[in-house]
Structure 1
Amino acid sequence: MSTTSHLLDDIRNVNLSYLLLVQRLLNEDRTSAMFRLKISEQMADTLVSLPISQLAKLANSNQLLCHFSLTDATQLASLTSDQREDDLKRTHAAILLAGGSFEHEEETVGGEQQYGR
């Protein structure tokens, strides 16, 4: 099996794991999950309603369905530096990621996602 084939299998596995986690988060605490995942109520409704067969079909993609929330290398560096205590790191991460949700909301106009970043 080639390296590319292994990578595609890994991407598909990550996608399915991510989608199952998304459903679990939404089922356990919808409001918190929507905030953490930076998704709308309509998207949450859609994701929760998908049966496992549809999740598997959706996961069977060569593109990652999840994305990295930190958009700036300095954010990542500040969270990974040894200078902060662990509790402070978690608080800082929450603040940085919460700020990303506001950026996401600003990109949405009239219920339609704007892709020109």
Structure 2
Amino acid sequence: MAEQDDIFGAIEALNLTYLGLVQQMLQIDREVAARELGISNRMAAWIIALTPDQIEELANRSEPLCDLREEVVPARA
């Protein structure tokens, strides 16, 4: 059980870091960041408007909020 709690804690930390980075990217250059992240303008506006409490609540999930897109994975030989 402790190992599972460690994993959930790591996922929460990842989510907090990811959301903070995404929010910062969108605040710097919303159009470029939204395109790079593959999100809509509506989602970008929603993320920018998140309060610290909302970010913390959203981050407290059992699954990562970020995902790895197939098109960015290097080809294997």
TM (norm. structure 1) is 0.61
Structure 1 position 71, deviation (Å) = 5.2
Query: Any unmatched runs of 5+ in structure 2?
Result: none
Q: 2:75 aligns with which of 74, 77, 96?
A: 77
Give the number of the structure whose alpha-carbon radius of gyration is greater.
Answer: 1
For residues 23-44 of structure 1, the C-alpha deviation after alignment (integer angstroms, 9 at most, x for no partner) is 0000001111001110000000
CA distance in 1, matches of 2:69, 2:24: 20
For residues 69-100 of structure 1, the C-alpha deviation after alignment (integer angstroms, 9 at most, x for no partner) is 2258xx4235xx7xxxxxxxxxxxxxxxxxxx
User: Which residue of structure 2 aligns with residue 19 of structure 1?
Assistant: 19
Looking at both structures, which has the greater relative contact order when contacts are Cα pairs under 8 Å and sequence separation is at least 6?
2
Q: What is the aligned length?
A: 77
CA distance in 2, matches of 1:52, 1:59: 10
| Percent of aligned positions that are identical | 34
Query: Any unmatched runs of 5+ in structure 1?
Result: 82-117
Matched, 1:7 2:37: no
Name the SS of the counterpart of 2:21 in structure 1.
Answer: helix
Matched, 1:60 2:57: no
CA distance in 1, matches of 2:57, 2:31: 26
- Runs of 4+ residues over 6 Å off in structure 1: none
TM (norm. structure 2) is 0.90
Name the SS of the counterpart of 1:76 in structure 2.
Answer: coil
